Amino acid sequence: MAFALIGLRLVDVMAFKGRVTGAIATVQIRLSGARADLLDRNGALLARDLPVYDLYARPHAFWDKAEAAHDLAAATGAAESRLDRVFASSHDYALVARELTPDVQDSVMHLGLPGLEFEAAAKRYYPEGDAAAQVLGMTEPGGKGIAGLELGLNDRLSNAQPGTAVALSLDMRIQYALAHEVEQAREEFTAKAAGGIVMNVRTGEILAMASLPEATVGGAPLANGVDPRRNRMAQDVYELGSVFKIFTFSLAVEDHTTRMDEVFPVGSGFKLGKFTIHDAEHMPAEMAARDILAQSSNAGTAQIALRSGPDRQRAFLGSLGLLDAAHSELPESAAPLIPRHWGEIETATVGFGHGISVSPLAFVTAASIIVNGGRRITPTFLKRTGDARGEQVIKPETSAQMRELLRYVVTNGTGKKADVPGYDVGGKTGSAEKVVGRGYLAHHLLTSFCAVFPIDNPRYLVFVMLDEPHGTKATFGLALAGFTAAPLAGKVIAHIAPMLGMPTTTPIVAPTKENS
């Protein structure tokens, strides 16, 4: 009888892959195709499938179902009450637990229970922890992507050849630097939330994208209403305020509706119908157009926007992609909120970034077109090689003049605190009262800064945003973008420029007795 049993077992192992019913525990291996690895642009591992096992049971094979439920719950961490209920039912085949690691599998085998089957599976691991968690996303237990790039690239990742990897545009060095500086600023100014993006303006590659506070596994919305699981840089839309003036001035330069040395009355505000547009800070009675941008005058910008008119303004913003959701490999992409009626009042307010809400990802894509020579780019989270700029959207001369104006904002305007010696930063501040319902919440600001460097031949754009920052003693209690977002952008650039191999424009002078 013993030899007969051994013979039957050998036949089963060789012919039927180990399926035996009755008192002998069984193991059935069903290999499923593992997803491809995700790598950053430098080859750092971001996501990988590791082998695990799903455990199934045939309850009718147990001598004592209650004891089996107790022992399996202790070994696997499954809920004993659920196992009791499932085993007591008439199910012939029941799931015990998913994604068991080899050591847990070994503990189950030592129980010596009959009627068990292990199905080979894979569990997605993220070696960098929560870094870029909202961008990378996650998979469900079955291995299918359900959020972030895991969902957006699901077909490519799940149908890849074994051992292959997908290289992303993300640079984890830049990701960590951006997240660190943004979190420091969020704490310094006690902001509810914050975020940032670093984009290559020539290729459209996203090198870093951070939404803070950062997501954690099983994270839930915080007491202040902020959901750390949301990728606010792509999934939410905002009235960004004065950074939108970049587009108003680009249109004025493109169509030659305004000379930059032309003077406009601004000091007492600008009356439009029954409304008067005022500035947040005191302005002189008259200002040249370039100083209207540098000092961020809403009254002056409204007058410049009206010279283009509603139809031309809308068409121009549409040509930059601002009237549609930003398309990339991320499935989370918010559509903008635009005026239903686009008349003169809307043209004036949209001119300085009110009355229109866009995602930060859509904004940085459009701003990159303005500074990269005026050519279209598509945002991407996949690594690219070579210049990926497409059709001409604005004239190269317009792009060159806008770069000069953005540099002037940093050297002579509200963006002074964003300047980084040696890197010739250009940029624009944005301070906007937050929208609540159909109105605005006074003294609750969303501040941002759009920085480009090196401004004479741009390579990278840095966008940072702070949600409800508070002034400090160092900022004299002021929370405007020039005091909160601008210095943050400067710190990010100072941190990442050496990593990106960007040479400084200021030669390094060897120390001497005179300058040491």
Whether 484 and 359 share a structural domain: yes
Within-domain flag for 45: yes
Domain span at 420: 172-496
Residues 68 and 192 in one domain: no
pLDDT at 101: 87
Does 109 reside within a domain? yes
pLDDT in tens, 134-186: 999 999 887 899 999 999 999 999 988 888 999 999 999 999 999 999 999 99
pLDDT per position as a tens digit, 253-283: 999 999 999 999 998 899 998 889 999 888 9
**What is the domain-level CATH number for residue 319?**
3.40.710.10
- What pLDDT sits at residue 51? 87
What per-residue confidence (pLDDT) applies to 440? 74
Asked if residue 312 belongs to a domain, the reply is yes
Asked if 148 and 247 sit in the same domain, the reply is no
- Name the nearest CA neighbour of 62 among 87, 95, 81, 84: 87
pLDDT band at 516 (very low <50, low <70, confident <90, very high): very low
CATH number, position 68: 3.90.1310.10
Regarding whether 331 and 229 lie in a shared domain, the answer is: yes
Bridging pattern class, strands 439-453 and 426-436: antiparallel
pLDDT at 407: 98
The answer to whether the beta carbons of residues 331 and 361 sit under 8 Å apart is: no
What is the number of domains present in the chain? 2
Say how far apart CA 94 and CA 113 lie, in whole Å: 14
Does the pLDDT of residue 17 top 50, yes or no?
A: no
Q: What is the pTM of this model?
A: 0.86
Q: Which of 167, 187, 218 lies at the terminal end of a domain, its last residue?
A: 167
Is residue 35 located within the same domain as residue 152?
yes
Same-domain pairing of 131 and 179: no
The confidence band for 34, taking pLDDT boundaries of 50, 70 and 90, is confident
Are 144 and 204 within one domain? no
Instruction: Assess if residue 412 is contained within a domain.
Output: yes
Q: Could you tell me the end-to-end alpha-carbon distance of the chain, in angstroms, rounded to an integer? A: 94
How far is CA 497 from its chain centroid? 20
Does 188 reside within a domain? Answer: yes
Reported as a pLDDT band with limits 50, 70 and 90, residue 506 is low
**H or E segment at 399?**
helix 396-412
Domain assignment present for 36: yes
Q: Are residues 368 and 273 in the same domain?
A: yes
My answer on whether 245 and 153 are in the same domain is no
Q: Are residues 65 and 128 in the same domain?
A: yes
Residue 278 included in any domain: yes
pLDDT attached to residue 31: 45
Mean pLDDT over 280-290 rounds to 93
Q: Please give the mean pLDDT across all residues of the chain.
A: 89
Cα distance between residue 144 and residue 167, in whole Å: 19
Q: Half-sphere exposure (CA, 13 Å, Cβ side) for 303?
A: 23
One-letter identity of residue 499? M
Quote the radius of gyration of the chain (alpha carbons, Å).
Answer: 29
Q: Is residue 511 part of a domain?
A: no
On whether both 194 and 56 belong to a single domain, the answer is no
Query: Mind telling me the catalytic residues?
Result: 242
Statement to judge: residues 163 and 176 lie in one domain: no
Average pLDDT over residues 412-438: 92
Of the candidates 167, 197, 232, which is a domain's last residue?
A: 167
Q: Which residue has the tokens 């409800």?
A: 468
Where does residue 401 fall: left (phi above 0), alpha (psi -120 to 50 degrees), or beta otherwise?
A: alpha
